Amino acid sequence: MHPAIPHLIELQRVDHQIATLRAELETFPKRIREADAKLSGARAELAAAKETHTQGATERKKLEFDVQQWKDRARKYRDQSGAVKTNESFKALQHEIANAEAEVAKAEDRQLEVMMAGEELDRRVKLAESRLKEAEQAVAAERKEIQAQGAEKKKQLDAVLAERERIIGPVPEDLRELYVRIARRHNGTAMAEARDGQCRGCGMRVLPHILQELRTETNEELYRCESCGLILYTLEPIPVATPAGGSASAASGASTNS
């Protein structure tokens, strides 16, 4: 086979490894974003809980104001009732007092509901704070692990890139360019094994004389698949020629012995 073929086979192996490592490295920023999204969710949950808690506190203050306002109004009507001179005016004031006291009772009932709900809102805020703290710790640990994995993959990539430089060194410049052009058209693959009479890149038949040339140690030609254009190589053993007189001698010896 062509003397550059073994180097190109190794080059393709490391190029596939490089592509895999680069694809893995590209996933790390997304993984970090996904981890940060978990943190954003916990922060949003806490913000929502605090907002609801604030709304409850605002309503509670308003109810306190309403209760006091209705109490003051009932007190004012009672003070006025002692000075009225007609029965109708007295009845009217009594009606106003009853109405104010009813409003006080309604506001106090609602105030009690809000206070009880406030206890639940306090619990939700504390729970959301706890979850946020847990999320911060978990995400920090996850980010650290992702960054460590990324650093290790980057280290592996640097090592493989260095290996690639060593492998490609003996390959002539024109073959390097050919390899790169073919690999670009075939998703990083430029080489295809010829096995069992077929190109393993596309499955098409390889002509017998080309297979024979690929198996010849002294061959220095480069062959490409006529169908897919990949550079062909073979790992099949080179057939050992049997001496023409070998079988005849064996037969002769056998007949002599008989």
Question: Which amino acid, residue 60?
Answer: R
> What pLDDT, on the 0 to 100 scale, is given for residue 239?
52
DSSP symbols for 11-78: HHHHHHHHHHHHHHHHHHHHHHHHHHHHHHHHHHHHHHHHHHHHHHHHHHHHHHHHHHHHHHHHHHHH
DSSP state string for 106-170: HHHHHHHHHHHHHHHHHHHHHHHHHHHHHHHHHHHHHHHHHHHHHHHHHHHHHHHHHHHHHHHTT
- What pLDDT is stored for residue 238 in this prediction? 52
Specify the pLDDT at position 246.
Answer: 44
Ranked by mean pLDDT, the top range of 72-76, 165-169, 239-243, 244-248 is: 165-169
State residue 247's pLDDT score. 40
The DSSP H or E segment spanning 224 is none
Asked if pLDDT for residue 18 goes beyond 80, the answer is yes
Does 213 have pLDDT greater than 60?
Answer: yes
- All domains of the chain in start order, with CATH: 10-168 (1.10.287.1490), 173-233 (no CATH)
Give the model confidence (pLDDT) of 27-37 as tens digits.
Answer: 999 999 998 88
What pLDDT, in 10s, does the model give residues 135-145?
Answer: 999 999 999 99
Residues 124-146 have a mean pLDDT of: 91
Whether the predicted model's global pTM rises above the 0.85 cut: no
Phi-psi region of 238 (alpha: psi -120 to 50; beta: other; left: phi over 0): beta
